[in-house]
Structure 1
Amino acid sequence: MPDLPSSSAWIALGVQHAVLARAMPAVRHDLAAPLSVMRMGTTVLKRRLADGELPPAQAVERVEQLETHLASLTDSARRLRHWDLQAPPASAPLRATAQLAQQWAQPLLALRGLAVELADGGDTLPDTPAAQHLLLCLLLGAVHLLAEAPAAPACIRIGPVPGQANALRVQAEGLAHRGLAHQGLAEQSLPAPQAQGMPPLDGAALQHLARHGGADLRWGDGWVEVTAP
Structure 2
Amino acid sequence: MKATPGARSWMAAGVRHELLTRVFPALRHDLASPVSVIRMAMLMFKRQATVKPVDTAAWQERVALVEGQVGALATGVRSLRDWELAVSDEGVTRSALVAQCTGLMRAAFELNGIRLHVGEGLAPGEGEQRFPAGAALRYMCLGVLSYLQDGAPQLGAVHIEPEGRDIVRFSATRGAAELAELADPHRAPRKLAIDAVALQLLAEDLGYFVALDGDTVRLSLVRRSNQ
Fold-level similarity (TM above 0.5): yes
Alpha-carbon offset, residue 109 of structure 1: 2.3
Q: Judging by fraction of residues, say which structure has more helix.
A: 2
TM-score normalised over the length of structure 2: 0.83
Query: Which of 187, 194, 211 is 1:194 aligned to?
Result: 187
- Contact 2:153/2:174 (CA < 8 Å) preserved in 1? no
RMSD: 2.5
CA contact (8 A) 2:118 2:160 kept: yes
1:200-219 equivalences in 2 (<5 Å):
200-219=193-212
Structure 1 residues without counterparts, runs of 5 or longer? 178-186
Tell whether the 8 Å contact from 1:207 to 1:218 is kept in structure 2 after alignment.
no
Structure 1 distance, partners of 2:108, 2:188, is: 10
Partner of 1:180: none
Indicate conservation of the 8 Å contact 1:19/1:137, yes or no: yes
2:91 paired residue number: 91
Shift of 1:10: 1.2
Structure 2 counterpart of 1:79, one-letter code: S
CA distance in 1, matches of 2:21, 2:170: 20
Change (3 A) 1:201 1:52: farther
- Which runs of no fewer than 5 residues in structure 2 stay unpaired? none
Quote the offset at 1:129 in angstroms: 1.9
Deviation at 1:69, TM superposition (A): 2.2
How does the TM-score come out when normalised to structure 1? 0.83
- Tell whether the 8 Å contact from 1:102 to 1:117 is kept in structure 2 after alignment: no
Find the residue that maps to 1:52 and give its secondary structure.
coil
- The C-alpha deviation readout for 1:139-179, integer Å capped at 9, x for no partner, is 11111221223534332232201xx211111222341x5xx
Note if contact 1:119-1:157 (Cα within 8 Å) is conserved in structure 2: yes
Contact 1:116 1:156 in 2 (8 A): yes
- Deviation per residue, 1:96-126 (Å, 9 max, x gap): 1111111111123223322323212732889
Decide whether aligned partners of structure 1 residues 2 and 154 sit closer, same or farther in structure 2, where only a CA change above 3 A counts: closer
Give the equivalent residue in structure 1 for 2:12.
12
Counterparts in 2 of 1:80 and 1:124: CA distance versus 1, 3 Å: closer
Alpha-carbon spacing, 1:197–1:149, altered in 2? closer, same or farther (3 Å)? closer
